[in-house]
Structure 1
Amino acid sequence: MIKRTIGQIATIVGALNDVSLFKDQLVHGVIIDTRKLTAGNLFVPFKGENVDGHTFVRDVLEKGAGAAFWEKSAGPAPEGLPVIVVEDSLVALQTLSKAYRNELNVKVVGVTGSNGKTTTKDILFALLSTKYRVHKTEGNYNNHIGLPLTILSLPEDSEVAVLEMGMSGFGEIRELTQIALPDAAIITNIGESHLQDLGSREGISKAKFEIVEGLKSEGLFVYNGDEPLLQERVKGYGGSKETFGRHSSNTMYPTKLVPSGFGTTFSVNVSDEEFHLPILGEHNVMNTMGAMLIAKFFGVGFEDMQKGLSTLKLTGMRLEVSTGAKGETIINDAYNASPSSTKAAIDLLQTISTTGKRYFVVSDMLELGPNEEAFHHEVGTYVTDDIDCVLTYGPLSSFIAEGAKETLPEDRVIHFDEKSALIAYLKVVVKSDDTVLVKASRGMKMEEVVLALQKE
């Protein structure tokens, strides 16, 4: 993590006050949450809708923080304390993180896309860790605050940083990539998330493509070559680029792809190795191929990539497999949802080998804009007879139920207005050899269904 004196930090961020009394005091690590305080941290206060972080500055310094930012607009700064007055706390945080990134001898990989960002980040970490000391974005620290905090948490001996970049509007990826200055960047896909803010898939592709604006001139841009919107947008890009996807027109594509237990065995056109991916879904093979192209760019051999995949651990609630109280298999994919990722979940459930029934438990997909009802209905019509029962919860998911009834008998599609009723139904009907896949946007808190099934 960053270790600098208050004087050095003050110079980097352009402090508006005299810090000479504390200039040689060492600060290490940066926090925005006082509950995560360890001695010597730099505390960055923000003004929220309900809470102003400046009210905690004196207390956090008395409890051992090394220093704190203080926005000029917050009024007179506390006297006699190691406070660095700045014009804007967020700008100061971002400025400090960019300076720290430039001081480190670290290669950076930027990861964005509508779906699969976090999984791809985890795969990249597994592949690159076979050769390098790698640090990655933890959890969903992928926005204008989270990414700078991730950079500032990098150990000084880090050789590679894998940084996830999320967004909800135009200009946000541009801001992140210009802080991170990646040596390689990947767009996993273009889906429908954030249509509410960006208006169309074309708008989403434009916003995601901003990642190349910070990409180093000698860097590598990797993208899903099966996506026409990216094919069109990349025409004006003059840097080095490679593609992955299902079709043979891509730099890397699968020549073999076979479900294997709760994973997938696959081969690719550019290697004689056979790879085993210990997570479910053809779409994750696509994510893996994109990660493999970047690992290859960083000098990781295919044999080492196979070893790396065997160590893969995913961030929670992304195709997380567990066993329920009755012995049933539960697949928790309730962290995020869009039409494309929900269809991928349907594809996955239909291919799982089981002697029991396949239950698809799905809730609302959020932030889809004015056509949200049509998107939900379309997802419902995507269900085939290979799924035994579709259980929906939430106002928008009722349209999934309507669509599913066009392909399945009505008694195999049940909509619930109450989550408790859904849970009670599952606890009665599910048997030990059944498989239950739970899919939803994070705001629907469908992990509660998973936890309920795991309990006696």
Structure 2
Amino acid sequence: MMIRTFGEVAAMVSGTVRNGDESLVIRGVSKDTRTIGAGNLYIPIIGERFDGHDYAKEAFRLGATATLWQQDRGEPPEGVPAIVVDDALSALQRLAARYREQLPVKIVGVTGSNGKTTTKDMIAAVLAVKYNVRKTEGNLNGDIGLPLMILQMDEGTELAVLEMGMRGFGEIELLTRIAKPEAAVITMIGEAHLERLGSRTGIARAKLEILAGLKEGGLFAYNGDEPLLESLLSQASKPESIIGVRFGSGADNDLWPSHVSVEADGAAFTLNGAKKPEFRIPLPGRHNAVNAMAAVAVGRHFGLSDEEIASGLGAMKPTGMRIERMRGATGLTVLNDAYNASPASTLASLELLKELIGFGRKIVVLGDMLELGDEEERFHRNIGSALSPDQFDYVYAFGPLSRHTADEAMPSFPQGRVRWFDNKEEMVRDIASVARSQDIVLVKGSRGMRLEEAVQRLVDVQL
């Protein structure tokens, strides 16, 4: 964590000291009284329905040493060491940017419409073979979360792998200029955030903002299967010199997975048509083998051998609810992919389920895909049209938008094999009435649908 004096922090954020000795030592930061630690600098973030300044006294009662204080919120509490700033959030971001400049750490930035968390996990696992590594925790990938992640690093952190999320233009540029990465990765361009960015071209432009903060001569590993990235690259703000590595599913890329074999608990592959070495990841699906190519590119950039990269990939621990294999009480296999969903990621998960062998019937549970803008009905119907009774035995759709998925799929399936629900408990009971111990169930939906609740019930239920 950041350890600096009160006076040093004030200088880093261009703030004015009130009520405190400048030699006072600050150890770490927190924006939440529920996580405040002894010696922390309290960051009073202002939201739509809350004002962190209202909790400053509580933060000090719980051990905070000092606080930022936004100047339009009046005077800070009497006797409380405070640094008065123009804007609390901007000051947090300045603090993180200055601290990052003072650290010897090298940073890898990862963004993309899908797969960025899994790719982040793979890259971190690879780099950890040789370096002291930190990676983004939970959803700390935005304009508050990324600065907090940087401020959690200590002086001994050698490499950090940071997710960069966004909802609109300019957000990734802000994050990359704070982080100043030595390597940048774009996993893919999908349809999430269409309601804000208007088109896939807009999404690609927003993701390419990651290059604005990339250091001179840095690595740019990007999905070569996506022509939009190639076509827009010349227009992106970027250093004069970058090392470009295209990865993807086909042999026209610099890195591509070959001899891919997929099972329910992982995938194995080689590189670029070679027979050896073989790489294994504890994640099923060809799309995850493609994302592993980004980890190979980053590992090589930072001096790891292919054997070291293979070791790291094999030891990675995926973040939960990303195609997490779970075994039910009676042997039913559940693939929990309920963390998020988009048209591209849903099709990839369906493709995975098609490839798996050794199970009885294949049951698909699909929740709404959110944040798709005006074309949300078309995207849900497209998923329905991709479902075939030759490949899936039952389809369960949950949520108002998934009604379109069910309507599109229903004519192709035998009667009763496609079912739509607006009640999660009723859906789980229905699945339990048809599922057998040797079957496999894929659960996929946007985070807002909370389908992990259905997953847990399916794991616990006695068939």
State the TM-score, normalized to the length of structure 1.
0.97
In 1, the alpha carbon distance for the partners of 2:79 and 2:359 equals 71
Deviation digits for residues 298-332 of structure 1 (CA, Å, limit 9, x no counterpart) = 11111011111121111111111111122101111
Structure 1's unaligned 5+ residue stretches are none
Contact persistence 1:2–1:29 (CA under 8 A) = yes
In 1, the alpha carbon distance for the partners of 2:349 and 2:255 equals 23
The amino acid of 2:444's aligned partner reads: K
Please, which moves more after superposition, 78-87 or 179-188? 78-87
Please, which moves more after superposition, 81-90 or 10-19? 10-19
The residue correspondences of 1:355-434 to structure 2 (distance < 5 A) are 355-384=359-388, 385-434=390-439
In 2, the alpha carbon distance for the partners of 1:214 and 1:406 equals 50
Equivalent of residue 327 in structure 1, options 321, 326, 331: 331
Contact persistence 1:354–1:435 (CA under 8 A) = no
1:113 alignment counterpart: 112
In 2, the alpha carbon distance for the partners of 1:218 and 1:405 equals 53
The amino acid of 2:354's aligned partner reads: Q
1:242 alignment counterpart: 245
Contact persistence 1:226–1:247 (CA under 8 A) = yes
2:177 alignment counterpart: 178
1:249 deviates by 1.3
Give the secondary-structure state (helix, strand or coil) at the position aligned to 1:135. Answer: strand
1:83 alignment counterpart: 82
Equivalent of residue 454 in structure 1, options 454, 459, 462: 459
The amino acid of 1:367's aligned partner reads: E
Contact persistence 1:246–1:254 (CA under 8 A) = yes
Contact persistence 1:321–1:331 (CA under 8 A) = yes
Give the secondary-structure state (helix, strand or coil) at the position aligned to 1:375. Answer: helix
2:92 alignment counterpart: 93
Give the secondary-structure state (helix, strand or coil) at the position aligned to 2:8. Answer: helix
The amino acid of 2:156's aligned partner reads: D
Give the secondary-structure state (helix, strand or coil) at the position aligned to 2:315. Answer: coil
- Residues 127, 270 of structure 1: alpha-carbon distance in 2 compared, 3 angstrom cutoff: farther
Contact persistence 2:368–2:449 (CA under 8 A) = yes
Deviation digits for residues 372-420 of structure 1 (CA, Å, limit 9, x no counterpart) = 0000000111112211111001000011112222433342111112111
Structure 2's unaligned 5+ residue stretches are none
1:140 deviates by 1.1
Give the secondary-structure state (helix, strand or coil) at the position aligned to 1:267. Answer: strand
The amino acid of 1:26's aligned partner reads: V
The amino acid of 1:280's aligned partner reads: P
Give the secondary-structure state (helix, strand or coil) at the position aligned to 2:363. Answer: strand
2:293 alignment counterpart: 289
1:60 deviates by 1.2
Deviation digits for residues 23-47 of structure 1 (CA, Å, limit 9, x no counterpart) = 1111111111111111001110112
Deviation digits for residues 270-316 of structure 1 (CA, Å, limit 9, x no counterpart) = 86311111111111011100111111111111101111112111111
2:302 alignment counterpart: 298
Off by >3 Å, runs of 4+ in structure 1: 235-238
1:232 alignment counterpart: 231
The amino acid of 1:201's aligned partner reads: R
2:448 alignment counterpart: 443
The residue correspondences of 1:51-62 to structure 2 (distance < 5 A) are 51-62=50-61
Contact persistence 2:125–2:316 (CA under 8 A) = yes
Deviation digits for residues 186-240 of structure 1 (CA, Å, limit 9, x no counterpart) = 0000000000111110000000000001001110101000101112112456522
1:43 alignment counterpart: 42
The amino acid of 1:390's aligned partner reads: V
Contact persistence 2:17–2:81 (CA under 8 A) = no
The amino acid of 1:66's aligned partner reads: T
Aligned length: 455
1:269 deviates by 1.6
In 1, the alpha carbon distance for the partners of 2:52 and 2:282 equals 43
In 1, the alpha carbon distance for the partners of 2:394 and 2:440 equals 11
The amino acid of 1:13's aligned partner reads: V
Deviation digits for residues 412-454 of structure 1 (CA, Å, limit 9, x no counterpart) = 1111121111011112221111111100000010001011112
Percentage of pairs with the same residue: 47
In 1, the alpha carbon distance for the partners of 2:268 and 2:162 equals 27
Q: Does 1:315 align with 2:314?
A: no
Deviation digits for residues 61-95 of structure 1 (CA, Å, limit 9, x no counterpart) = 12211111111111111121111111101111000
- Residues 157, 82 of structure 1: alpha-carbon distance in 2 compared, 3 angstrom cutoff: same
In 1, the alpha carbon distance for the partners of 2:62 and 2:347 equals 50
Contact persistence 2:258–2:271 (CA under 8 A) = yes
- Residues 261, 436 of structure 1: alpha-carbon distance in 2 compared, 3 angstrom cutoff: closer
Give the secondary-structure state (helix, strand or coil) at the position aligned to 1:258. Answer: strand
- Residues 76, 291 of structure 1: alpha-carbon distance in 2 compared, 3 angstrom cutoff: same
Equivalent of residue 270 in structure 2, options 267, 271, 285: 267
- Residues 329, 403 of structure 1: alpha-carbon distance in 2 compared, 3 angstrom cutoff: same
CA-based RMSD:
1.3
Contact persistence 1:67–1:83 (CA under 8 A) = yes
Give the secondary-structure state (helix, strand or coil) at the position aligned to 1:35. Answer: coil
In 1, the alpha carbon distance for the partners of 2:146 and 2:90 equals 13
Q: Does 1:137 align with 2:145?
A: no
Give the secondary-structure state (helix, strand or coil) at the position aligned to 1:36. Answer: coil
Contact persistence 2:263–2:356 (CA under 8 A) = no
Please, which moves more after superposition, 368-377 or 423-432? 423-432
In 2, the alpha carbon distance for the partners of 1:410 and 1:199 equals 38
Q: Does 1:68 align with 2:75?
A: no
